[in-house]
Structure 1
Amino acid sequence: MSITLDFDVKQLANKRQLELHYLPAKINGDGECANVDKYFNNYTREASDYGTGVLTNALRGYPLLGKREAVPKGYKGVVLQETDPHQAQRQLRLTGTFEEFTYWNYDKVPSKGDGYQQAMTMLQVAEALAAPIGEAELEEELKRQQQAKKENL
């Protein structure tokens, strides 16, 4: 099975900015979009009891705690929609972009233990591992290791 992305980079600048919420819920439905501004955003409040930047709301009676997160510098958030999920050849098209989003937990305060936070940490680790090392830095590290070896003998 192959996947085709149906957009080019020029479209990224022209697509509308979206307001995204990542909810801990699965919603089965193909109906009209919910009026998020009226029925959800109007009830979002800062929950200073849990720390700076923590938000509170509820979804169908379940309390939610959330946090706004920016897309890391140098990256662009994109929303892709599958044109026909029943085809063997899957095709995704660009429907919008975002610079930040709000992610919600229903059972805990947002923290470094959340999946998104861990993914961002791994992104930083991957960038550090992939960064080129200069010759001077390499020589300095070799000297440091030799010195540590001498001290351990």
Structure 2
Amino acid sequence: MSITLDFSGKNLAKSKSVNLHYLPAKIDGDGEANVEEYFNNYTREATDLVPEGYRGLVIQETEKPINESSDRQLRLTGVFEEFTYWNYDKVPSNGDTYRQALLLADVADALSKPISEQDLEAEIARNKENTKESP
């Protein structure tokens, strides 16, 4: 199976900004819903930003695949810089799996930054000082 992403830099620049809501749930329906009944005072929400240097993309499958081994094509339908993140029973926090995944972008950025020779020498000097101070 191959997956083709159908968008380019031009499409990305022209894409409409969307108002996105992330619900960590499986919904077995497609249609009208009484929002006031289902999204009551038990639900919790927070607005999250896409990590700095990144852009959120909304992609949609053009056709439902016949089976799991079928080729798939996805197209860009919108972009977002922030989104509303919902939890059912608690205020969203950095302990949520989804937020932890977003934090990985910061970790990857920190791990991939180049280190100058000056930074390396300064760290070696700090380590030597700390070693001298330890009993």
The question of a shared fold, defined as TM-score above 0.5 by the shorter chain, is answered with yes
Pairs within 5 Å for 1:13-52: 13-29=13-29, 40=35
Cα RMSD after superposing both structures: 2.4
Offset at 1:151? Answer: 3.5
Structure 2 CA distance for aligned equivalents of residues 144 and 127 of structure 1: 24
Gaps of 5+ in 1: 44-57
Which residue of structure 2 lines up, in the alignment, with residue 84 of structure 1?
A: 63
| 1:133 Cα deviation from its structure 2 partner | 0.6
Check if 1:147 corresponds to 2:126: no
For 1:6-56, what per-residue CA distance to the aligned partner results, in whole angstroms no more than 9, with x for missing partners? 11011112111111111132223455xx59xxx65xx6xxxxxxxxxxxxx
- CA 1:60 to 1:125, structure 2 compared with 1: closer, same or farther past 3 Å? closer
Residues 151 and 62 (structure 1), Cα distance of their counterparts in 2 relative to 1, 3 Å cut: closer
Query: Quick one: higher RCO (CA 8 Å, sep 6+), 1 or 2?
Result: 2
Identity %: 52
Q: Which residue does the alignment assign to 1:50? A: none
- Structure 2 CA distance for aligned equivalents of residues 59 and 103 of structure 1: 16
The aligned residue for residue 49 of structure 2 is 70
| Number of equivalences | 132
- Structure in which a larger fraction of residues adopt strand: 1
1 CA distance for matches of 2:134 and 2:17? 58
Q: Tell me whether 1:101 sits opposite 2:80 in the alignment.
A: no
State the distance in 2 between where 1:152 and 1:138 align.
21
In the aligned structure 2, how far is the partner of 1:121 from the partner of 1:75? 12
Distance 1:127 1:60 in 2: 36
**Alpha-carbon deviations, 1:130-153, whole Å to 9, x = none?**
111111010111122223333446
TM-score (norm 2): 0.83
Equivalent position SS for 2:78 = strand
Structure 2: stretches of 5+ with no match in the other structure: none
Match of 1:63, SS state, is coil
Structure 1 pair 14–74 and aligned structure 2 pair: CA distance change class (3 A): same
